[in-house]
Amino acid sequence: MSTGIDLAVSTVIFALRPDADGRLVLSIPLVRRTRAPQEGHWALPGGSADARESLAETAARKLAETTGLSAAYLEQLYCFGDPERSPSGRVVSVVYWALVRGEEAELVTDENVAWFAADELPRLAFDHNLIVDYALWRLRTKLEYAAIAHAFLGPTFTLAELRQVHEIVLQRELDPANFRRQIEASRAVVPTGEHVTGGRHRPPRLYRYDASVELVDNGPLTSAGVR
Amino acid sequence: MSTGIDLAVSTVIFALRPDADGRLVLSIPLVRRTRAPQEGHWALPGGSADARESLAETAARKLAETTGLSAAYLEQLYCFGDPERSPSGRVVSVVYWALVRGEEAELVTDENVAWFAADELPRLAFDHNLIVDYALWRLRTKLEYAAIAHAFLGPTFTLAELRQVHEIVLQRELDPANFRRQIEASRAVVPTGEHVTGGRHRPPRLYRYDASVELVDNGPLTSAGVR
DNA sequence: CCTGTAAAGGTCATTCTGACCTGAACGTCA
DNA sequence: TGACGTTCAGGTCAGAATGACCTTTACAGG
């Protein structure tokens, strides 16, 4: 029994990358379509669902195959199924969103992959502009109540680095003292005891993410590991 | 190009129904499966996706066909795609959750449909217990920050009725005075000017939902009306 | 007309939040 | 070598939000 519907999996990938002036910018890698429909347009990385994998596994694999990246955070965003969203027939896309670390982001070499500032996107293929807008909304909303900002950073980081992640994503400055108080109250990070030396000012503490603090709502908890 | 994956649409439907003692209970209608796989087990209402409809339209139609109900609130919950979730082959289910009014809930007559208390479900078909648990978590979480409780009620209601909805869903008592303050501050409801007469006590005001207060996150906003 | 109960509106202590201040600890430069 | 600029780390303080609780109002029923 076939329904005549193609099932695809795509991912909105976020990373913080330096722009021409060296300032970190919230960025998204896009893939140039090399065949119809919408040939030549930029689109989200993705592809057809695979019958042998879970949807999250497919998202992670496609993400790695097309961009060479691996995600520090991966969560299902939404399932898009408007009948008119693709001119070539009915396509239902299960869309994930992912966060990757800054160092990872520089490993992309494929000439058909390019990074764009999240708030300066061109006209994308299909309904992908709508999808990115929704993913951006989710990222910004979730950053305010869930400990996910560390996924942009390495295993250890200073509170100033973590605060900078929040400031770039939320597009507003945050009071350093109040940010410290809020983060410490959340118990999401723990000090390693080490400090960053060699800086021009008082050496800041290094922190790491406390994995014992479970994430709020990364989808339903299944018995198997990867969702 | 077929992926060998069946795409289904199911819905977790919530309503408040009186139990044997007349107390309102958060309840879910389930459908008894009349064919393999899992014949005889109770399952969520749903069916195969239709290539001509949006996913939300399919959810609303299946909801009406199998239970006779119409939803006052409908939102996509999650897309479930574990390879092992159905013994008969790969099925990906786009699951919605819906709220229906109490009066609506009494119109169900199909002998293969039965209501169950949300926290006393039997062993369901497939992974539907997991799905209902997740839907319950979403309903309870969302009730605390979004104005959706009115969807269980008629067009007008008293604050005591609205508070009772919150108390039943959240399974704890709420202070009437603080609840009033919180609801009034949210601007989600407006007094109609009318009062309920004939009661034993001081006549309460009637309120109606203020539709000008937009919902937070009922999925991405598309240009077309129904999602 | 008195009583019980819920509606409506209020107070008060506690907690949370944003704005701001002070001392500590560097590197840098005169 | 010592003053200076900057950031780190830890604090204060006022206003907003929250939970517990109190008072008055307004009805039905005995």
| CATH number for the domain that contains residue B166 | 1.10.10.10
pLDDT tens-digit series, residues B111-161: 899 999 999 999 999 999 999 999 999 999 999 999 999 999 999 999 999
pLDDT of A170 reads 98
Whether residues B126 and B174 share a domain: the answer is no
The pLDDT of residue A157 is above 50: yes
A217 in any annotated domain: no
Which site among A82, A137, A227 would you substitute to test the B interface, given the most B Cβ atoms closer than 10 Å to its Cβ? Answer: A82
Q: Shortest CA distance to B148 belongs to which of B207, B99, B181, B104?
A: B99
Report residue B189 CA to chain centroid gap: 20
Task: Give the residue from chain A lying closest to B96, CA to CA.
Answer: A79
pLDDT of B218 reads 86
Nearest nucleotide, CA B178 to C1':
D19
Q: Do B52 and A83 touch (CB under 8 A)?
A: yes
CB contacts, 8 Å: B79 with chain A: 55, 76, 79, 94
In this prediction the pTM is 0.95
SS3 B163: helix
Whether residues A139 and A175 share a domain: the answer is no
User: Which residue is listed with tokens 């520090």?
Assistant: A72
Whether residues B105 and B51 share a domain: the answer is yes
DSSP string, chain A: ---S-EEEEEEEEEEEEE-TTS-EEEEEEEEE--SSSSTT-EE-SEEE--TTS-HHHHHHHHHHHHH----SEEEEEEEE--TTS-TTS-EEEEEEEEE--HHHHTT---TTEEEEETTS--PPSTTHHHHHHHHHHHHHHHHTTSS-GGGGS-SEE-HHHHHHHHHHHHTS---HHHHHHHHHHHT-EEEEEEE--SSSSSPPEEEEE-TTSPPS-SS---SSS--
B224 in any annotated domain: no
Per-residue pLDDT, averaged over B164-177, amounts to: 98
pLDDT tens-digit series, residues B16-68: 999 998 999 999 999 999 998 999 999 999 999 999 999 999 999 999 999 99
Instruction: Give the domain range for residue B102.
Output: 6-143
String of b and e for A128-162 (b: at least 16 CB within 10 Å)? bebbbbbbbebbeebbeebbbbbbbbeebbbbebb
Q: Shortest CA distance to B44 belongs to which of B110, B125, B139, B111?
A: B125
- Residue pair B15/B102 in contact (Cβ under 8 Å)? The answer is yes
B198 in any annotated domain: yes
Q: Do B220 and A133 touch (CB under 8 A)?
A: yes
Whether residues B59 and B125 share a domain: the answer is yes
Structure tokens at A3: 């329904």
Whether residues B76 and B154 share a domain: the answer is no
- The domain tally of chain A equals 2
CB contacts, 8 Å: B76 with chain A: 78-79
Nearest nucleotide, CA A180 to C1':
D9
pLDDT of B203 reads 97
pLDDT of B162 reads 98
The pLDDT of residue A64 is above 90: yes
End residue of a domain, out of B143, B166, B183:
B143
Q: Do B78 and A224 touch (CB under 8 A)?
A: no
